Amino acid sequence: MQFYKLTLIIIVLIVFSGCSKLQKELPQPTSPTAVHSTGWNDTASSNFHGLYLKSRNWKKDDCVQCHASDFSGGTSNISCYGCHQSYPHKAGILDKTSQFYHGYLLKLIDWNSSSCQKCHGYDYNGGRSEVACYQCHNSYPHKSGWKQTGNSLFHGVYLKNNNWNLQSCQNCHGSNYDGGSITDKGCMSSGCHIDEAQNKKSPEACNTCHGKFNSPANLIISWAPPRGIDGSTDSTHRSVGAHQMHLSTGKIGNSLKCNECHNVPVQVFSTGHLDSNLPAEVVMNDTLARLITGNGSLVPNPAYDNVSLRCSNTYCHGNWKLRRANSTNQFGYADSIMVGANYSPLWNGGASEAVCGSCHGLPPTGHIASNINACTNCHTGVVNNAGQIIDKTKHINGKINVFGQEKWMN
């Protein structure tokens, strides 16, 4: 029994001795060894690892064998993230509910998307990866010039070219544009969408796209051009025209409201607003434009021609009729009826389109002979002896004003 034990011990010692001797006598390698081919990390090489992954449709199962499933190093002790910041993308990179969602990664680095450009291209249209960021989202990453007015890449230009699709902004900036679940950067808090008093102003404000941008959003007069939808500020341009003359600076009549000529949307995405083509519809809802006169015999049918840029058949510009038989001031009539000139003013023709005498004669046709200096004799408080309107609330208001007494035209 003791003989067998001794024999076993001797055998074990021989085995260990042999192993030890083999380890010490391993042959030296005659050339360096490597898993990857030469040029594996060289972007200019045909062996570049990015090209290898691209040929495999970006499948990275080979990589995890040495670099670990999270690409932090594994048995190779070489992390992929030692060279590039965010690739290989982890599972969940496209999942908004995942902690590895790429939006959260960008948020951590203050939305610096320059690292994305290495694979997806300087313009984010694919680059060497041939995977464009814009395959999933329309406008992000934002390109240089996104916040610079006058730049061809300004976001206002992008929105205009994409039918003012503000919903695409909400995807990242939240439903109220003041920061969302993806980014805490708001359109207003950025210092861009604010009024002249530094108050926040939603991108959905009317004067974001037309009118005075830095005026308060609730100041109705600021909704109208200038600025036109195309950025024009000159009143000779069709988008500007006589807007302000009708809405605020008019000297010969009361100011109008937007809904008297346009279908004003309840909110920015209302049907007929962003989903219809330019130019804006002119529907002439104004009750004065459609004022019936001549004891019911003259019913105006006002219209605006988008080609000639002229309004026509409006009471406001002289499409009216008065009958002497129905008047309490028959002494002023030279005929049985008195009529306006029914002028068709050019929308972008300037102040000369509304000079005294353009909408009715001096005096009106059917009126007794007079001159402009004598108008004040009967129309006291409306016009002075130089023929200037001194109270615009009493002019073009649908009423006849004689000796200070007003009466609706009929």
- Assess if residue 192 is contained within a domain: yes
Cis peptide before 300 (omega within 30 of 0): no
- What is the per-residue pLDDT for 10? 58
Residue 397 pLDDT grade (very low, low, confident, very high; cuts 50, 70, 90): very high
**Residue type at position 13:** L
Find out whether 293 and 320 touch, Cβ atoms under 8 Å: yes
In a domain, 229, yes or no: no
The torsion defined by the Cα of 102, 104, 105 and 106, in degrees rounded to 10, comes to 90
Range of the domain at 184: 143-223
pLDDT band, very low/low/confident/very high, at 168 (cuts 50, 70, 90): confident
pLDDT for residue 34 is more than 70: no
Question: Would you say residue 48 lies in a domain?
Answer: no
In a domain, 240, yes or no: no
Q: Identify the burial level of 340 via C-beta atoms within 10 angstroms of its C-beta, where 0-12 means exposed, 13-18 middle and 19 or more buried.
A: buried
Residue 103's pLDDT is: 82
Contact 259, 210 (CB under 8 A): no
pLDDT attached to residue 230: 86
Total number of domains constituting the chain? 1
Pairing, β 321-323 against β 337-339? antiparallel
Is the residue at 198 inside a domain? yes
Give the tens place of pLDDT for each residue, 145-167.
Answer: 888 888 988 998 888 888 888 88
Out of 209-213, 272-276, 334-338, which region has the weakest mean confidence (pLDDT)? 272-276
- Is residue 186 included in any domain, yes or no? yes
Task: Please say if the pLDDT value at position 144 is more than 70.
Answer: yes
Q: What percent of the chain has pLDDT over 90?
A: 43
Residue 254 within a domain? no
Residue 399's H or E segment, with its range, is strand 399-402
Average pLDDT over all residues of the chain: 86
Structure-token pair, residue 228: 């036109």
Q: Could you tell me if residue 208 is inside a domain?
A: yes
Quickly state the pLDDT bin for 321 (edges 50, 70, 90).
very high
Query: What pLDDT does residue 21 have?
Result: 46
